[in-house]
Structure 1
Amino acid sequence: MTHPLENLDPAQPVQVLPRHLAGPGAVDPRTAWAFPYDEGWPFAQTDAGTAAAFSPCLRLQTTYDPQPDEPGKGTWTISAHRAPFTPPTWRITLYATTPVELVHDVHTELLDLYLEDQHSDQDRLFHDETAPHEAYAPLLTRGWSHDVQTDGTQTFLTPEKLGGIRHRYAISGSSAPAWRAWGGYPDEPYWRAHFSFGTPVTLVAAFTASLISTEPLHRTVQDVPVHTRRALYVATTTAKQPNGNTPVAPPPPAPVSGRTR
């Protein structure tokens, strides 16, 4: 089966949707985190690419650990601590293959929560009262399916079944993440994201809002995962065609049951 990128040069810039199939994009921790480094947010990065940043109070820590030989190519990790140098109260872990725009939007919301707490008597980093439906209701408006299981979880799948979010709403006796997200085939996803219990739902909602955004992501053809390209929609491309027209792919096809390699 052909796909929208088949006849384009690997280095050709394109804008693609849906976001969960776009690939990671250009990874730059300093840009992805977008913290006010000139206002007391320490940042450090090694020659190998490992990076870390901290809030001035040292209660928030975020790291990027590239592992090129691993399936997820490394991890982005956010951890929140009630006091410096204590075990984390909650943690977010994302594969390095997660679209970097999603990583950026979560960190932008994280900074907003931090600043709100600094200027109020709230402590939303640890006592967020945002209801879970704020994170998943928008998925339903975009055509995602919804299935509730008897084990205390509910699963939301993208229309083409190549991405999803699982929410564990029954928390007693469970050490599993409260929220899981993935992009690609369920048995072999290209990226994963885990949000532990205690993670502010506001941050999960920022992630899902970015995930379903209709703003296309800028990529080169070679950056887009190969196995799911048939489900992509190319919003724009600057490739020069013999007739001077710009090719625009049709919207993603209907869901399929098999995998094409």
Structure 2
Amino acid sequence: MLLDPLRNLAPAQGVKVLPRHLAGPGPVDLRTTWPFSFDDDWTLHRSEEGTAYAISPCLRLWTRFIPEPERWGKGTWTIGASRVPFEPAAWQVAFEATTPIELLHDVHVSMFDLYREDRRSNQDRLFGDAAEPHEGYGPVFAHGWNHVARPEGIQDFRSPDGLAGIRHRYDTRYGDGPGWRIWGGSPAQPNWEARFSLAAPTTLVAAFTASLISTEPVHRMVKDIPRHTRHHLHVATAAAQQQSVAQPPPSPRPGRTR
């Protein structure tokens, strides 16, 4: 029987661990997740209940966090883009709040980069991304992930430990559902899950999977790491015992209408 590598550490002790898909979510911190320039042009709206929205100046791109502490997944991070402001989203990406914060940060950085590139070049990559699907799943092969192609128009990729997976729907003739589903934890009951709609830019998927397989350890407190998969963790370093407290999100400016 494999032992918990954290069994002799205090709950508040900080550690750096791998793989990222088993590290737990980390602190919910808008400043960590969202790289936007709120002091310049993006708008932030927050409610007393903790719901937060970030909206681009063009009003076509938004991202939000809705906390649901009593629900499995603890809430949802969602990115959406509309071709015309206030119309239904052309695509969405949704993450359970239990998704590792580093993965959320990297996909939002990629989204922000696409947004700024579109403003400079008028390429509109947010709605016509040229990235090919293999850019989303290709890097996992170098990390020993298994691959199975299925006749119903989907292909599955599974991490060597069996505790992370990617499902890519490449042929929509055989059914509907997200274009990409990515998860970490036990297959029967994952710790977290991410879903990219069919029209979501593949560049965002590639940013997420690159962060997922990164070999850079992430910092967590012992008490925040899921217990049922700890025996698969690798502990890079154990810091001195300390109580880590997430910094509060930035104070929002009053919402404004453009």
Give the structure-1-normalised TM-score: 0.90
Select between 25-34 and 95-104 the one with higher mean Cα deviation.
Answer: 25-34
1:116-147 CA distance string (max 9 Å, x none): 00010311000001010011010000011111
The answer for the alignment partner of 1:123 in structure 2 is 124
Cα distance in 2 for partners of 1:84, 1:30 equals 25
1:173–1:56 CA distance, 2 compared to 1 (3 A): farther
Matched, 1:132 2:160: no
1:30-67 CA distance string (max 9 Å, x none): 33111011121000222221100000001001000010
Cα distance in 2 for partners of 1:70, 1:234 equals 29
Cα distance in 2 for partners of 1:121, 1:67 equals 38
The answer for the alignment partner of 1:256 in structure 2 is none
* Residue ranges of structure 1 left out of the alignment (5+ in a row): 241-261
Cα distance in 1 for partners of 2:178, 2:25 equals 22
Letter in 1 for 2:182: A
The answer for the alignment partner of 1:68 in structure 2 is 69
* Residue ranges of structure 2 left out of the alignment (5+ in a row): 242-258
Cα distance in 2 for partners of 1:185, 1:96 equals 17
Aligned to 2:172, the other structure's residue is in SS state coil
Aligned to 1:206, the other structure's residue is in SS state helix
Q: CA deviation at 1:239?
A: 4.6
1:197-251 CA distance string (max 9 Å, x none): 11000000000000000110100000100100000000001258xxxxxxxxxxx
Cα distance in 2 for partners of 1:142, 1:80 equals 32
The answer for the alignment partner of 1:108 in structure 2 is 109
Q: After the TM superposition, which segments of 4 or more aligned residues of structure 1 sit over 2 Å from their partners?
A: 172-175
Q: CA deviation at 1:175?
A: 2.8
Letter in 2 for 1:69: E
Cα distance in 1 for partners of 2:218, 2:38 equals 26
The answer for the alignment partner of 1:51 in structure 2 is 52
The answer for the alignment partner of 2:19 in structure 1 is 18
* Contact 2:153–2:174, Cα closer than 8 Å, also in 1: no
Identity %: 56
The answer for the alignment partner of 2:193 in structure 1 is 192
Cα distance in 2 for partners of 1:173, 1:235 equals 44
Letter in 1 for 2:214: S
The answer for the alignment partner of 2:164 in structure 1 is 163
Q: CA RMSD in A?
A: 1.1
* Contact 2:153–2:173, Cα closer than 8 Å, also in 1: no
The answer for the alignment partner of 1:218 in structure 2 is 219
The answer for the alignment partner of 2:251 in structure 1 is none
Cα distance in 1 for partners of 2:42, 2:23 equals 30
Cα distance in 1 for partners of 2:17, 2:225 equals 9
Cα distance in 1 for partners of 2:94, 2:156 equals 19
The answer for the alignment partner of 2:205 in structure 1 is 204
The answer for the alignment partner of 1:248 in structure 2 is none
Aligned to 1:238, the other structure's residue is in SS state strand
Cα distance in 2 for partners of 1:50, 1:131 equals 34
Select between 69-78 and 166-175 the one with higher mean Cα deviation.
Answer: 166-175
Letter in 2 for 1:117: D
Cα distance in 2 for partners of 1:52, 1:172 equals 35
* Contact 1:8–1:239, Cα closer than 8 Å, also in 2: no
